Amino acid sequence: MAIARYPIVVLDCPDPKVLAEFYGAILDWAVEQEDDEWWMIRAEYGDGIGFQKVEGFTPPQWPGQDKPQQMHLDVSVDDLDVAEAAVLKLGATKHEHQPGTSFRVFLDPAGHPFCLCQA
């Protein structure tokens, strides 16, 4: 028997609304505002990602370790080229370091790394 359920993951950021709208558009999940410092996106089946405002937020550096990433999101896509164009239009930045061929690394508007992975 499980001790807990996995309802959400939470990302620290300087502007939770911006990231909620960004990831909500990528995943086609509903955007919900809790308050100015907390926004959520939710899938129809219940999973979610929370975004909480952190004053003085410093984005992680990757692949460097001066300010190491502590987590990143990998999302599956059917077509890497089509998905790349879409996330760039939404405000992502393609990372200069691309260590693989079946996935691509980007930075979200707050500087968190995330990957588009070929399904």
Give 74's DSSP letter: E
Kindly tell me if the per-residue pLDDT of 12 is higher than 80: yes
Chain CA centroid to CA 22, Å: 8
Nearest to 49 by CA among 117, 114, 119: 114
Kindly tell me if the per-residue pLDDT of 1 is higher than 90: no
pLDDT one-digit tens code per residue, 15-53:
999 999 999 999 999 999 888 899 999 999 888 999 999
Kindly tell me if the per-residue pLDDT of 6 is higher than 90: no
CATH of domain 8-118: 3.10.180.10
pLDDT one-digit tens code per residue, 55-94:
999 988 888 777 777 778 899 999 999 999 999 999 999 9
Give 19's DSSP letter: H
What per-residue confidence (pLDDT) applies to 86?
Answer: 97
**Cβ-based neighbour number of residue 107 at 10 Å:** 18
**DSSP string covering 96-107, please?**
S----SSEEEEE
Kindly tell me if the per-residue pLDDT of 116 is higher than 80: yes
Nearest to 74 by CA among 40, 108, 97, 31: 108
User: Would you kindly state where each structural domain of the chain is located, as residue ranges?
Assistant: 8-118
* Assigned token pair, 108: 């979200």
Kindly tell me if the per-residue pLDDT of 111 is higher than 90: yes
Query: What pTM does this model have?
Result: 0.85
Relative to beta strand 73-77, strand 48-53 is unpaired
